[in-house]
Amino acid sequence: MKVNRSGFYKWLNRRSNPSQREINRMAACNEFSLYHDKYPSHGYRWLNAKIRLDRGTIYSDNYAHNICKFLGIKSDSKHFKRQGKKANRELKNFPNYILAELNPLRPFQVVVTDMTAFWANKHYYELTLFMDLFNNEVIAYHLSNKKGDPSSYHIAMANLLTQKNKKYTDLEMILHSDQGSVYCSKRFNESLYLYNITHSVSKPGTPTENGAMEAINGWIKEELFIDFKINDSDNISKSIEDYIYYFNNERPQSALNYLTPIQFKDSNYIK
């Protein structure tokens, strides 16, 4: 085999008496393999942050990258560029306030909303979400199995207003949405003034103006199908409820320096 005798016995000794460095590397490999099996939609940075959050084990991003490269771990998620046609005109004359690059300093100061649709277990669902841009927390949601169901927006909005009235009654809030028929209705906009809410709207055909919400919609569907295997669920509503709790309390986000939304709010907002 063209291996010298001394080199062979050194290798044999390392196999039977591994160094502490090798033991630590094997432990790291086991951790990253375990978390990749559980959350295959994410890459090495997110897996590293999740291990640090759950187990308190700290690895550098470079070390995490080397471990994942050694194990052949890659994200199973696939993101595609949206190819949409731009509209030639604005359907409604609503201003867009979040393009001013507002920096929310407290919860419920800037809230964005959108609906995402998906098929699960051979059934159609629409998930309406309201997200607080202060800490990217999903503060209200509603799941409907009817296409174009307006009550989904109303129920989610009612949950949002209930929370605002409890803690932030006097706070001026900006609510940003697209130009869906529900959001542009006269009744909806007149009701917002009663709750000290200013409506902000994206131009038609420009989802990038609500980029934070669009990005979250994409990640939610990736994780629901890849990590949470929602197609195998017998109770879609319970699965969504469990996922929203996970998203707010257990899922680190790179935009929040790999803290969860609740951790970020607890550490950055003093009542």
Residue 250 CA to residue 262 CA, distance in Å, equals 9
pLDDT in tens, 35-47: 999 999 999 999 9
* Residue 101 confidence class, pLDDT cut points 50, 70, 90: low
Q: CA 261, CA 139: separation in Å to the nearest integer?
A: 10
For residue range 232-266, list pLDDT tens digits in order: 999 999 999 999 999 999 999 998 999 999 999 99
Check residue 100 and give its pLDDT. Answer: 53
The residue-averaged pLDDT of 152-158 equals: 86
- Residue 89: predicted pLDDT: 37
Q: What is the pLDDT of residues 10-63, one digit of tens each?
A: 888 877 888 888 889 999 999 999 999 999 999 999 999 999 999 999 999 999
Q: DSSP secondary-structure letter at 203?
A: P
Q: Please state, in angstroms and rounded to a whole number, the distance separating the CA atoms of residues 255 and 96.
A: 22
Mean pLDDT score, 145-174? 86
Of residues 86 and 189, the one with the higher pLDDT is 189
Q: How many CB atoms lie within 10 A of CB 117?
A: 13
Per residue in 184-202, pLDDT tens? Answer: 888 778 888 888 898 888 8
SS (H, E, C) 15-57: HHCCCHHHHHHHHHHHHHHHHHHHCCCCCHHHHHHHHHHHHCC
